[in-house]
Amino acid sequence: AQSVTQLDSQVPVFEEAPVELRCNYSSSVSVYLFWYVQYPNQGLQLLLKYLSGSTLVESINGFEAEFNKSQTSFHLRKPSVHISDTAEYFCAVSNYGGSQGNLIFGKGTKLSVKP
Amino acid sequence: DTEVTQTPKHLVMGMTNKKSLKCEQHMGHRAMYWYKQKAKKPPELMFVYSYEKLSINESVPSRFSPECPNSSLLNLHLHALQPEDSALYLCASSPGGLAGQETQYFGPGTRLLVL
């Protein structure tokens, strides 16, 4: 069975500062990794995902995440955050050959960007 | 159209009421999901429909009854709910052919309050 650990429940940062949201996973098989974002009073939307190939994946709004198999991590980073990045961020994992219901979410990290 | 719509946005119901939540997508997706999300928690999977057939029921109490009338619609019928069932109910869909590596598209949710 897989599991996901998001080490920080809350991350406060100032606008234009860099940020890293940490995610570690546990699985006995190969995995796919996802970051979803949930803005206040909205559903979740995909930020980026790692399926295979290059271990560095990027989103259209400046976030990136790097798959590190040896450290079983998929940390999310942004070099300069904006007020509009304030949201809850969920790391999620599913395994190769898994079913549609196989997506396991971490507990979430609330990113608060202050002016 | 990459949107999943959910109605109603908000719902208040008594413990003896019967109500239904509706979800619709027009992306041609063949997998649809219901999740329950309590405040400050990640989404918890309730049901998965794959090609209009119920494929996963995560031991959800029978007071929740899902229905998939066609490939675009998903309903969740509610009856005799308890106050602890108050939560945000999220619907999601995915293409349905690639299982674990698929992006799930979420609706904005229905915020349910059971009195």
Contacting residues of B for A110, CB less than 8 Å apart? 40
Whether the CB of A11 is below 8 Å from some CB of chain B: the reply is no
Is the model's pLDDT at B96 over the cut of 90?
no
Are A103 and B100 an interchain contact pair (Cβ–Cβ within 8 Å)? Answer: yes
Please tell me which of the candidates A101, A106, A107 has its beta carbon nearest to residue B45: A101
Residue A79: C-alpha distances to residues A15, A16, A20, A64, B75 (Å): 11, 8, 9, 9, 42
Are A99 and B106 an interchain contact pair (Cβ–Cβ within 8 Å)? Answer: no
Are B103 and A95 an interchain contact pair (Cβ–Cβ within 8 Å)? Answer: no
Confidence of residue A41 (pLDDT cuts 50, 70, 90): confident
Main-chain dihedrals φ then ψ at residue B110, nearest 5 degrees:
-115, 125
Per-residue pLDDT tens over the stretch A51-91: 989 999 999 899 999 999 999 999 999 999 999 999 999 99
Mutation site, B101, B102, B106, interface A, largest A CB count within 10 A: B101
Give percent above pLDDT 90 in chain A. 78
Whether the CB of B18 is below 8 Å from some CB of chain A: the reply is no
Confidence of residue B56 (pLDDT cuts 50, 70, 90): confident
Which amino acid is it at A50? Answer: Y
Per-residue pLDDT tens over the stretch B15-30: 889 999 999 999 999 9
Cα–Cα dist B81/B16, whole Å = 7
Q: What is the pLDDT of residue A100?
A: 65
Q: What is the pLDDT of residue A31?
A: 87
**Closest CA–CA distance from residue B14 to any residue of chain A (Å):** 23
Output the average pLDDT for chain B: 93
Cα–Cα dist B58/B97, whole Å = 21
Cα–Cα dist A109/A103, whole Å = 17
Q: What count of CB pairs under 8 Å joins A to B?
A: 75
